[in-house]
Amino acid sequence: MRNKIVFFSFITLFLFYTSACTAISPVKNGEFQHLIDEFRIANHIGAITLAVSFPGETAPRLFNSGETETGNGIPANIGSLVQIGSLTKSFIAAMILKQEERGALSLNDKLGTWLPEYPDWADVSIRQLLNHTSGIYNYTDSEEFRHFLLANPDTYLKPDTLIHYAAQNSPYFAPGAGWHYSNTGYVLLGKILEKITRKPLDILLNDTLHDNLRVPLNNTFFVPHLCSKEIRQRIIHGYYFFSPDQPLDITDYSLSWMNSAGGLVSNTYDLTNWIRALFSGKILQPQSFARLTELVSIQSGQPLPQVNGVDTTGYGLGIQACKTTFANLDTIWWHSGGTAGYKTLMMWLPNQKIAIAVSFNQVMSGQEAVPLSPDTVLPSAILRLISEHT
């Protein structure tokens, strides 16, 4: 029981983390492959997938290392899927902005207008839900929620149930008076999208992903509960390790506890296509894109014109920015996602117009609070390799 409690203690931080084209001297594919092979073996990781999209190349370069399931002998491949956790938030943010473009809502609309059943949060704006300045309690911080999930990992949890856990707790601060990551905000945004479109979230998201965006996302799916047979056959198994020799396969656990805060599965191929399209003007109109990239400080929640030496990371709408230690890369845009057995990161390098996505299929006990970010070991090594060729 103690091991299980430790396993689910990471849920508080799930998905929080748990971005003029310069001439590129292309990195050799073997350098990327060697990098992920070496990292996977040194860290006893089952599988790592990496995609890097360079400007002027027709498709991302794809690199895979390891097996789709420990011991099955089947290599991870171009079609392999993973849970992407909070990278889902960039998709939800884009869909909300598309609704604003159509005149269906405004980012300044109050929650009381759309979801009057939550009067305590009536003065929270849609913008504040998107950039985590709402103050609304994060349901994955709830001890009661964690204990329920521990005992019922296969149970379908309705969005209203997730919101209930948040509503039982006081806000962190008044709307706009601070910054605190809140998955509850994105579950509420999912309910707003359902209300506007009059479609269930799973149908809305999957229709939008496959039919209504100007970018092919044939490997990206919203999973409201358990994976379908087709997805299950393609997904890399995810593992939580209580110790190096004590893994727990979480692949078949319900994804309903993540809902619109993190319920997508995808692969690194689609994620590089997505972030390139998002930052290349293919998804949003210029005014909407400007709103997407308006930053607030993750220290104060106040507007942040640009990241700097004091505020090194800022959060926009479902995406964030940070300074790197590589001067020629400067500021990058990114988001990470983590679930019980997966860590994933996507990055956009605006100076070089390079898109990167990387994922691996294990979470170690004691490392739950360490999300993949540009300054963690593997992403930093990837950035260093690119920096050296820029």
Quote the pLDDT of residue 366. Answer: 67
Place of tokens 């929640």: 301
Quote the pLDDT of residue 333. Answer: 99
Quote the pLDDT of residue 22. Answer: 44
pTM tops 0.85, yes or no: yes
Look at strands 362-364 and 239-243 and give their pairing.
parallel
* Under 8 Å between Cβ of 310 and 123: no
Quote the pLDDT of residue 364. Answer: 77
Quote the pLDDT of residue 369. Answer: 58
What is the SS3 string spanning 238-270? CEEEEECCEEEECCCCCCCCCHHHHCEEECHHH
Domains of the chain listed by start with CATH number: 2-18+22-388 (3.40.710.10)
- In the chain, which residues have pLDDT < 50? 2, 5-6, 10, 12-13, 15-23
Phi, psi (rounded to 5 degrees) for 275: -70, -30
